[in-house]
Amino acid sequence: MVLDVWFTEKHEDKQGISLKVKEILYNGESEFQKIDIIDTEAYGRVLLLDGLVMTTEKDEFFYHEMISHVPLLAHPCPEKVLIIGGGDGGTIREVLKHPSVKEVTLCEIDKAVIDVSREYLPSIACCIDDSRVKIHIEDAVEHIKRKKNSFDAVLIDSTDPLGPGVGLFTEEFYANVRESLRGNGVMAAQTESPVTCQKEFKLINSLLNKVFSVVKPYFAPVPTYPGGNWSWTFCSKGLQPEINNESLAIEIEKTSKYYNREIYKAVFAVPNYVKNMMD
């Protein structure tokens, strides 16, 4: 008998995304959250945390390329990068495409996410064990307090503002991130969907504007995320989000699936509905 099994992620009981499941590869629970890996017909292997889609083999590149290359290409020479969250390893993989990077610190609260990704998502987690990567299993809220003037870039690759990720969406946390940046330091954070999470998007950007001199939201599709359109926000003490190294941008473009130099310029164009929402 052929089973017709579907996974459905519901958003506020108003809408959702459904994926036909071929096989459940992993089902477990850490001290922080429920973790599942399912193999789907449409998007390959999918990482679920507490029943929510975090990443998929088919569309992960949209997210990981945007959170990494947009801020790093604006920096003249990023050497030390902190990734907060990101236990699946996709952001690490993209960051290490920048030859100036000498050290990547991964601060992930849940070791189980790293272990499961290593085993079941090798195409995404392929660079977690690179010698330049230092892993800290720790709450980033506490970790960042000890890091003053330490990083050229901080990438907040967090879950939604609930559960173990809720502390990463406060003015105090963003102020500590700012203090952790060197002079030309840049930050990029995932800032939710401007379509389905308008309240959260507005709140996060209002907090960032209290802390940073430069705050620029940018947008790209992530098909399996609520609303299909996602946002990140670029922040700095003064550096603008413009490509600093054209030759490197060209090289990275050759290996990317979504990012290119034209996309870089386009993602900062703010749609009218977002402008009206933020007025």
Indicate the pLDDT class of residue 15, thresholds 50, 70 and 90: confident
- Single pTM value for the model: 0.95
Could you say which of 88, 110, 152, 157 is catalytic? 157
Q: Tokens 């096989």 correspond to what residue?
A: 23
Residue 277: what pLDDT?
86
Q: Which of 43, 156, 173 is nearest to 91 (CA)?
A: 156
Please give the structure tokens belonging to residue 30. 């850490």
Taking a C-beta distance cutoff of 8 angstroms, is the pair 215, 235 a contact? yes
Mean pLDDT of 127-144: 96
The CATH fold of domain 60-278: Rossmann fold (3.40.50)
Count the Cβ atoms, other than its own, within 10 Å of residue 226: 23
State yes or no: is 157 an active-site residue: yes
Domain parsing of the chain, residue ranges: 6-55, 60-278
Tens digit of each residue's pLDDT (9 = 90 or more) over 26-76 = 999 999 999 999 999 999 999 999 999 999 999 999 999 999 999 999 999
Tens digit of each residue's pLDDT (9 = 90 or more) over 176-218 = 999 999 999 999 999 999 999 999 999 999 999 999 999 999 9
Residue 165: what pLDDT?
60
What's the burial of 121, exposed, middle or buried (CB within 10 Å: 0-12/13-18/19+)? buried
Q: Which CATH architecture has domain 6-55?
A: Roll (2.30)
- Taking CA atoms, 148 is separated from 83, 172, 177, 189, in Å, by 15, 14, 9, 19
Taking a C-beta distance cutoff of 8 angstroms, is the pair 235, 186 a contact? yes
Residue 14: what pLDDT?
83
Which residues have CB under 8 Å from 275's CB, separation 6+? none
Q: Which helix (H) or strand (E) holds 274?
A: helix 272-278
Tens digit of each residue's pLDDT (9 = 90 or more) over 228-260 = 999 999 999 999 999 999 999 999 999 999 999
Indicate the pLDDT class of residue 1, thresholds 50, 70 and 90: very low
Residue 164: what pLDDT?
58
